[in-house]
Amino acid sequence: MNRVLLVPLALLTIAGCAMQDQSFTQQQALARVEQLIRDTAAEVTPRPRLELVPYGTEAEECPSDAEANGRVTVNRAYWLRDVPRADLLRVSRQVRAAWERQGHRLIAAGDGDNPDLSGESQPDRYTLALTWADGDQLYLAATSPCIWPDGTPSAHRPPRSNR
């Protein structure tokens, strides 16, 4: 896996675990991640071809502290194919405008000629990213907050001691 890709995906996973319990299932979280990416890409012109990044497509366990035990995040990243190098910053501006129109919060933006963006969907607080990678390629990514795979904590929490 490309090292440039590892760091942003790891950050997305960690950031997604900062939330409290969510009441949606892993399948619902995946649907939302896909929707966030596709809704953003639909506002880029000319529309890029989306190509799934095949890494990190399995649910990832949240950090191992007691609160996160058993919870997961759902991640997806798609390469934005057919975007010429000369259009990277234009695409970044379009993604930023799309997130703002969709009511999401911009967290950070690259400086000067760096098209990187990070954001947070509202009101559900999914982590969003537009990342510039080796070979002058861009990818869009989204990560869910920490969730219980079946949407409820009861099956995942250890029984309490009766001392």
What are the start-end ranges of the E strands in the chain? Answer: 49-52, 60-61, 72-73, 75-81, 105-109, 117-120, 127-133, 137-143
The predicted pLDDT at position 65 comes to: 63
The predicted pLDDT at position 5 comes to: 46
How far, in Å, are 40, 81, 108, 118, 126 from residue 104 at the CA level? 11, 24, 12, 10, 9
User: Tell me: the pLDDT tens digits for 29-40?
Assistant: 999 999 999 999
The predicted pLDDT at position 12 comes to: 45
The predicted pLDDT at position 155 comes to: 55
Please give the single-letter amino acid code of residue 143.
T
User: Tell me: the pLDDT tens digits for 49-102?
Assistant: 999 999 888 889 886 565 567 889 999 999 999 999 999 999 999 999 999 999
Calculate mean pLDDT across residues 116-131. Answer: 97
pTM of the model: 0.80
User: Tell me: the pLDDT tens digits for 133-152?
Assistant: 999 999 999 999 999 988 88
The predicted pLDDT at position 62 comes to: 85
Please give the single-letter amino acid code of residue 124.
D
How far is 9 from 149, CA to CA, in rounded Å? 20
The predicted pLDDT at position 120 comes to: 98
